């Protein structure tokens, strides 16, 4: 259904042809829900539009909206008296949907979360796509759905996807051991019992000791803050005898049931198949090196999309009326046209932003598994190497999700989803940058896992690239990858516990913007002469205890000073400017940037105070430039560690634009030959970065 508030907005337009088909960013804001009480009433009543908005909010936001009572604001007053939600329109042509329209629903998060003046975080928009049914989905019909994702109807949909994938998707791999002996099994699996018999127990089996047949499923889940039932040295023998279903937490019980209903006898759950306590993490260190095989060798990955921990169920009750896309008749050119309402960012809300996909460890599970079956709060969804599907669209998604491609689609055990186009293998490395970008957005319970949680993906990519893996980067284009930076506006810090050299993005907590694999012509000004890494185990994609890199480039003396001009235009950043060899370098001189953005990026944006106290130890090294009057230049920022040995550590990067800025940064100084380094030769310095 569509609530009266949404219907009123939809019916406000007397003729939808008057909506511009050009996305010009303009439009009249129309008040929608005035407060949280009104919004939640529509959600509870089953309004499709309001439920899509609700689905996109996180748990904290939902709780605060429900607690808000009374009218938050009246329309038309000062900015502080705006409604909780409002809408404006766009034509569909600019979004590749001619004859369609888009309803943007703006939700002021700042009113609920008190986010102050940070506008980037204080505003949220849901976009509802209005598709003319006759043009886009003439056969679409509203159908009834069960009231639980545990239902027979739901599992018939899942089985249909599996059958179709096996029969029609060569890239997904039919898995030759679906009913025979596998080529490889994990060290341990849960045996849920013979599929032709009722079972109330499962047990831990060791395939190398007790030969088994058939495929296995894996479970992706969030661990949460509460410790759940897991494998230890003290219960190891007992779990090989039996594990009564009633002793398992709800999520694990539901996962066992799901595996059996999909006709898969064996199940791998990390907390029950890897020893968690009692052996000083010896087993974990060993098993974590096999994650690539564990997930790529599975038949299907069962993903608990919205369960915060194992004490929450896999299955959910739901309101069927709020699930499916609604249809509504609206006037177009004096005629009545039936439109289908659909969440434009449906997949992002249901899958990409699901609780499970905010967990860093799960990224490799999603990438490497040939098939993923998501159990969300509202429905089940499907993701394999060739297709995405959703329960509410049993005949196929109404819009082509390739318009919003996941950077991971097509990444499997037997291929990778890049299409090199005309740029040789650089675009292959850009694919890795996409992975790093997504991975560093996700959360790690234990920051020390930064490299090991990506290890399985790195092994697969290494085989495909035939390149050496270097602390989260690749040797062939390492000079380019060294230009990573902290993401704008993110709180970053270098952890107190060592996990990577300072020149690796893995040494920093938080979201990272990877070094750009420029597809256009650029000049690289630095050269890696040599490097060394010390590993804790024999796994060169895993834990690191130390390392260094020797780099050729032009070293210059640096000071970092507050940039009052830029800082006055931002509430979010402490803008800094560079003084190179005593000469101030201003990005303002001939910048082509149209927005205020910092041009100095410290790796630890909490270290500015300590940096001020060490100005005599700061240096920089121009690293990459693009020719042309508006071309850019990127610069490594370094702090001296040991002047006698020419040893530095990285503290960030800087960037600038335009000919004047480049000339300032590249200008030579007679005193440069006396700067600390391993060796000075031909106007270049060899430095060691740790």
pLDDT band at 220 (very low <50, low <70, confident <90, very high): very high
> Is the pLDDT confidence value at 113 over 70?
no
* C-alpha dist (Å) from residue 160 to 174, 262, 382, 391, 615: 15, 11, 11, 11, 65
b/e code 460-486 from CB counts within 10 Å (16+ = b):
bbbeebebebbbbbbebbbbbbbbbbb
Higher pLDDT, 105 or 533: 533
* C-alpha dist (Å) from residue 225 to 61, 247, 391: 20, 20, 31
Confirm if 154 and 401 have CB atoms less than 8 A apart. no
> Is the pLDDT confidence value at 314 over 60?
yes
Q: Kindly state the percentage of the chain with pLDDT values over 90.
A: 47
pLDDT of residue 63: 79
Paired tokens of 616: 């005599």
Pairing label, strands 266-268, 335-343: unpaired
Distance between CA 527 and CA 256 in Å, rounded?
A: 53
Distance between CA 638 and CA 635 in Å, rounded?
A: 10
Confirm if 544 and 451 have CB atoms less than 8 A apart. yes
Higher pLDDT, 610 or 365: 365
Q: Tell me the pLDDT tens digit for each residue of 457-471.
A: 999 899 888 999 999
Mean local confidence (pLDDT), 83-108? 72
Confirm if 108 and 57 have CB atoms less than 8 A apart. no
Distance between CA 636 and CA 76 in Å, rounded?
A: 49
pLDDT of residue 24: 42
Higher pLDDT, 348 or 335: 348
Report the DSSP beta bridge partners of residue 624. Answer: 524, 634
Q: Tell me the pLDDT tens digit for each residue of 223-263.
A: 888 878 999 999 999 999 999 999 999 999 999 999 999 99
Residue with tokens 């974590």: 288
Mean local confidence (pLDDT), 181-185? 72
Q: Kindly state the percentage of the chain with pLDDT values over 70.
A: 80
Mean local confidence (pLDDT), 316-333? 86
> Is the pLDDT confidence value at 491 over 50?
yes
pLDDT band at 295 (very low <50, low <70, confident <90, very high): very high
Indicate the pTM of the whole model: 0.85
pLDDT of residue 400: 67
Paired tokens of 285: 């260190």
Domain boundaries, the chain: 4-136, 152-318+350-403, 426-689
Pairing label, strands 216-220, 266-268: parallel
């Amino acid at each position: 259904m569509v609530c009266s508030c949404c219907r009123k907005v939809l019916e406000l337009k007397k003729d939808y042809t008057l909506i511009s088909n050009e996305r010009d960013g303009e439009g009249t804001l129309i008040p929608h829900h005035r407060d949280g009480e009104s919004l939640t009433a529509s959600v509870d009543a089953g309004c499709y539009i309001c439920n899509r908005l609700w689905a996109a909010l996180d748990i904290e936001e939902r709780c605060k909206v429900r607690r808000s009572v009374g009218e938050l604001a009246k329309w038309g007053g000062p900015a502080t008296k705006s409604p909780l939600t409002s809408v404006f329109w766009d034509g569909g042509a600019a979004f590749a949907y001619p004859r369609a329209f888009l309803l943007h629903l703006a939700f002021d998060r700042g009113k609920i979360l008190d986010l102050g003046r940070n506008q980037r975080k204080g505003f949220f928009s849901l976009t509802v796509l209005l598709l003319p049914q006759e043009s886009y989905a003439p056969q679409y019909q509203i159908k009834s759905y069960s009231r639980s994702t545990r239902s027979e109807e739901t599992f018939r949909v899942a089985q249909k996807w599996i059958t179709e994938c096996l029969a029609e998707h060569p890239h997904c791999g039919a898995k030759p051991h679906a009913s025979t002996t596998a080529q490889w099994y994990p060290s341990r699996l849960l045996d849920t019992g013979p599929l032709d018999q009722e079972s109330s127990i499962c047990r831990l089996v060791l395939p190398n000791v007790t030969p088994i047949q058939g495929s296995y499923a894996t479970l992706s889940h969030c661990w949460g803050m509460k410790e759940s039932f897991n494998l230890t040295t003290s219960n190891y023998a007992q779990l090989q005898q039996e594990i009564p279903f009633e002793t398992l937490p709800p999520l694990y019980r539901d996962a066992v049931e799901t595996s059996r209903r999909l006709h898969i006898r064996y199940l791998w759950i990390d907390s029950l198949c890897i020893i968690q306590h009692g052996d000083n993490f010896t087993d974990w260190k060993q098993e974590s090196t096999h994650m690539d095989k564990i997930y790529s060798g599975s038949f299907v990955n069962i993903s608990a999309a919205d369960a915060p921990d194992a004490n929450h169920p896999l299955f959910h009750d739901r309101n069927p009326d709020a699930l499916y896309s609604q249809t509504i008749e609206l006037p177009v050119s004096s005629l009545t046209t039936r439109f289908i309402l659909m969440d434009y960012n449906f997949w992002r809300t249901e899958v990409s932003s699901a609780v499970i996909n905010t967990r860093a460890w799960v990224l490799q599970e999603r990438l490497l598994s040939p098939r993923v079956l998501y159990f969300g709060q509202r429905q089940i969804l499907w993701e394999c190497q060739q297709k995405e599907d959703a329960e509410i669209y049993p005949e196929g998604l109404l819009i082509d999700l390739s318009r919003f491609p996941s950077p991971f689609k097509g990444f499997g055990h037997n291929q990778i989803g890049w299409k090199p186009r005309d740029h040789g293998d650089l675009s292959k490395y850009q694919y890795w940058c996409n992975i790093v970008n997504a991975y560093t957005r996700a959360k790690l319970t234990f920051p020390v896992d930064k490299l090991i949680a990506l290890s399985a993906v790195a092994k697969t990519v290494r085989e495909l690239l035939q390149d050496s893996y270097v602390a989260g980067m690749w040797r062939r284009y390492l000079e380019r990858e060294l230009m990573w930076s902290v993401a704008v506006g993110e709180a970053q810090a270098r952890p107190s516990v060592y996990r990577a050299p300072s020149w690796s993005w893995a040494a920093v907590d938080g979201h990272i913007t990877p070094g750009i694999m420029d597809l256009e012509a650029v000049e690289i000004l630095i050269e890696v002469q040599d490097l060394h890494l010390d590993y804790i185990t024999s796994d060169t994609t895993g834990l690191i205890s130390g390392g260094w890199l020797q780099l050729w480039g032009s070293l210059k003396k640096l000071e970092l000073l507050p940039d009052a001009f830029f800082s006055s235009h931002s509430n979010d950043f402490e803008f800094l400017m560079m003084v190179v060899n005593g000469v101030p370098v201003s990005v303002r001189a001939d910048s082509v940037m149209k927005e205020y953005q910092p041009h100095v990026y410290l790796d630890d944006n909490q270290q500015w105070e300590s940096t001020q106290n060490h100005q005599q130890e700061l240096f920089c090294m121009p690293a990459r430039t693009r020719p042309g009057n508006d071309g850019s230049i990127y610069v490594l920022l370094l702090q001296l560690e040991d002047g006698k040995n020419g040893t530095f550590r990285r503290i960030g990067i800087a960037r600038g634009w335009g000919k004047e800025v480049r000339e300032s940064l590249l200008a030579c100084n007679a005193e440069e030959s006396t700067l600390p380094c391993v060796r000075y030769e031909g106007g270049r310095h060899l430095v060691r970065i740790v």
